[in-house]
A and B are shown apart, each in its own frame.
Chain A
Amino acid sequence: MGLHGLLVECDDLEEVMALHRALDAERPHGVVDVVPAARTVLLTFGPTTSWATVAAAVTDLDTGLPPRSGQEREVVIPVTYDGVDLDDVAELTGMGRDEVVRRHLAADHRVAFTGFAPGFAYVVGSDRGLDVPRRATPRTRVPAGSVALAAEFTGIYPREGPGGWQLIGRTDVTLWDLDRDPPALLTPGTRVRFTEASS
């Protein structure tokens, strides 16, 4: 991708996450940023290395590393399921509202990658029945803390901003705090457990 970027195509999200783990464990010399996404991992690098060197280093990586169970973080996110798009999601998935909520709570979730905004995580769920497309027209204003669905992901908006995901609820957790290290609550690989917020 240009002179200082290498975009690695993966077969699926599992492979992306495996490659990201391997790059986390052993980052090739000169690589500045590693950006995992849905089907790709982007590596950007400076002039101290070259495209061919980085490409060779990626090819040589051992991507067979399992998730490090001892160091695996789990974050609990209490959600109030009252999103304005919950009816649309119910219709798109052919379930009732309660069924959407029940299955979202029951599914296993893990952060696949981040992006879009500081602290915004793409949390992949285990229940394919909840997959929905983005909204045809994005909203110009989505409130902070909104919990939303798009494709196989759940996302939470760290702050108010534009967005095209289907809003199913909201949470009070702080996703981004510069006084925290790292500032993002949800980092790639983190397990996420959604619970129903007590009202």
Chain B
Amino acid sequence: MIEVVLAGALTTVQDLGRPGHAHLGVGRSGAVDRPSLRLANRLVGNPEDAPALELTFGGLTLRAHDSVTVALTGAPARLTLEGRPGAMHAAITVAAGETLEIGMPSRGVRTYLAVRGGLVCDRALGSASTDVLSGLGPPPVTDGVRFAVGRPTAPVPGVDVVPGRSWPVEPVLRLLRGPRDDWFAPEALELLGSARFEATPSSDRVGVRLDGPPLTRVREGELPSEGMVEGAVQVPPDGHPVVFLADHPVTGGYPVVAVVHPDDVPVAAQLRPGDGVRFRFVPGPVSPPLG
């Protein structure tokens, strides 16, 4: 058993989400930075989809009631075990009664904490993930919440530490055009592919809201609601784009000008308010004639 003594700004349980339920109005949810969750689980010998904690801006204190093995990945934060510094991206043993403190990350937003054996939680539609948009899954973690830990299924891998990913100051995310790029002026597309945008404080697990030069439409009127995907760059009437993350709505009524390459979505998910970001268009799949 582990106890979350202090939960920090926002800590939720996340796994790889609940894909395949969009026809019920249920989005995928799950870790917004899935590669980091997968890595944390691998480091402690868990299946990649085991439920773990997603910390928002760190600030979590954890006490082990029984000896547990944990690993931290994602946004790099200072961590101390009984006051001694510990390492990210490595399996750490927290003995019974010991306290692990995780500080504010120096880069990025979300740090993942996997526990060997996985957290034992109720599941909704097969997943333990908290979906902040739909309210599915367990409520956000509060101070004093305790989690039972599951039985390990595989040994802890024999690695001391794995390299972290790079945290560029102003990442450049790859974009695939469309499907509604024809709703925008050519200058708007040029701006999107060249200008600097900045993540705003209203960003959350639903999406990264960007500030920057507004993208002007050439078509007026309402777009009938249509299906949305993770990474979709949706542009509301004010012209300020939103990059959808794991808790995005299943359908939306504003045009999607482009979609972020799936491998770059985790980078978008780690943008802090005030962080700069740029985009560059890359070729998409060739479209054969339909119908």
Contacts and interface: CB of A to CB of B under 8 A. Distances in A.
Interface stretch (A81-89, A95-103, A114-122): A114-122
Contacts of B134: 117-118
B284 interface: yes
A3 B284 contact: yes
A57 B231 CA distance: 24
Contact of A183 (B24, B261, B285): B24
Nearest to B124: A178
A1 B256 contact: yes
A94 interface: no
Tell me if B's interface is mostly helix, strand, loop or mixed. Answer: loop
Contacts of B135: 159
B19 interface: yes
Contacts of B19: 32-33, 44
B260 interface: yes
B220 to A, nearest CB: 13
Contacts of A3: 176, 259, 261-262, 284-285
A5 B229 contact: yes
Interface in A34-92: 34-42, 44, 50-52, 55-56, 58-59
> What class of interface size applies to chain A in its complex with B?
35 or more
Interface residues of B, number: 41
Contact of A41 (B26, B227, B228, B291): B227
B288 A1 contact: no
B91 to A, nearest CB: 28
Contacts of A120: 25
Contacts of B259: 1-3, 5
Contacts of B85: none
Given A38-B224, A55-B287, A116-B251, A1 B229 contact: yes
Contacts of B23: 33-36, 113-114, 187-188
B288 A40 contact: no
A142 interface: no
A22 interface: no
Interface string B276-291: 0000000011111011
Contacts of A4: 229, 262
Given A3-B176, A51-B285, A184-B25, A115 B249 contact: yes
A2 to B, nearest CB: 3
Contacts, number: 133
Contacts of B249: 115-117
B20 interface: yes
A198 to B, nearest CB: 29
Name the residue among A41, A59, A113, A159 with the largest chain B CB count within 10 angstroms: A113
B96 interface: no
Interface string B52-83: 00000000000000000000000000000000
A182 interface: yes
Interface string B220-238: 0010111111011000000
Interface string B120-132: 0000110000000
Interface string B7-48: 000000000000111111110000000000000000000000
Contact of B26 (A32, A40, A42, A118): A118
B285 A35 contact: no
A52 B284 CA distance: 11
A2 B260 contact: yes
A2 B19 CA distance: 17
Interface in A165-185: 178, 182-184
Given A32-B20, A33-B227, A39-B226, 14 more contacts: A2-B232, A2-B260, A7-B227, A9-B290, A52-B288, A56-B288, A58-B290, A114-B25, A118-B25, A133-B222, A151-B224, A183-B24, A184-B25, A188-B23
16 contacts: A1-B227, A2-B176, A2-B260, A33-B20, A35-B23, A36-B227, A37-B251, A38-B226, A39-B224, A55-B290, A114-B23, A115-B22, A116-B250, A118-B134, A184-B25, A188-B23
Interface of A: 1-5, 7-9, 32-42, 44, 50-52, 55-56, 58-59, 113-122, 133-134, 151, 159, 178, 182-184, 187-188
